[in-house]
Structure 1
């Protein structure tokens, strides 16, 4: 695999992950409300969702999903409903799923992992991204499987590092003894961001 092409792929992927979205907000909120060792399970859930989308794209199944309007619509609307639920919970509930608070409440690792996994799976943009991206960086003259393994491992590592950074930032903000109105404003902003993302996904169409 050409090193220059690989670096472009890696930089593009990292920049995409660094753009704040539902998964970044989830990682930050878990970092704020959980001990850092426990919060990592949420990050791992997000990364596993991306691994699944990457694998689907690499095996060509993603193209079949995107080609099927019914199947894609099902994925899209489940994702929209879940994101709207998270956003509304954050806005109207003091104990919503996106809650930056100084008080740490230890949750089960499985619950944190599941939340991270579902939030990321609820956004089919990742599926579209990998489906569009991978063919641009694969050299058919080189072993394709090896190239996919390298890119897949790179995506996994980038996910773990970037979302762990979001988790740490959430923990740092929560420990800063923020006033109640500031915490409330952050929660409301996070909720509105999730709702806006859900609306954007609802408006998303696949062009044939």
Structure 2
């Protein structure tokens, strides 16, 4: 494992994106356990993209405009739905507890997985990113790609968990201030809309 790969992977993971925003939102609205569940779900959502990159499906996704757009716009629709849920204080990220309580962790996991699953750029990222760190004379290419993918997923889990736990640590300060709660809810809703718009404008 080269230092260059570890550094670049860490930068990619630590850069705020859809999964990180969702994990932070889960920490603020549901607490530390939910933030860990969200971090795990986001990490799990990377797995299909990793498999796609390793098996070559990412190349098909990159080559097919129709397939790419289908996944992309499904992701956009899902992010807009998340924005609507957050704006109206519904669902698993409800600040006032309107969301389902008994199934909240399961719902957080599912939503976190779907958020990353419906981002076609992740497959393209793995397809283009991993081979750069594999030498031409590498005797075990598949093993090396699996190793790097595993490290990337581990980094994602740890970094997202840290962000989420930090958000959870200030949760009480947020919940005790109604105006801050309203501001946070609107900010998260706007963030999901912005990320949806960014995804919609993404080209192969």
Query: TM-score, normalised on structure 2?
Result: 0.88
Residues in 2 aligned to 1:111 and 1:89: alpha-carbon distance in whole angstroms:
13
Matches within 5 A, 1:45-64: 45-64=41-60
Q: What are the Cα deviations for residues 65-107 of structure 1, in whole angstroms up to 9, with x where unaligned?
A: 110111111100100000111113222x123554456999554
Q: 2:167 aligns with which of 164, 170, 193?
A: 170
Q: For this pair of structures, how many residues does the alignment match?
A: 201
Shift of 1:180: 1.3
1:83 is matched with 79
- Counterparts of residues 120-139 of structure 1 (less than 5 Å): 120-139=116-135
Structure 1 residues 179 and 57, CA, compared in 2 at 3 Å: closer, same or farther?
A: same
Report the secondary structure of 1:89's partner residue. Answer: helix
Alignment correspondent of 2:33: 37
Q: C-alpha distance in 2, partners of 1:38/1:201?
A: 26
Q: 1:52 to 1:124 in 2, by over 3 A?
A: same
**Unpaired stretches in structure 2, ≥5 consecutive residues:** none
* SS of the residue 1:175 aligns to: helix
Structure 1 residues without counterparts, runs of 5 or longer: none
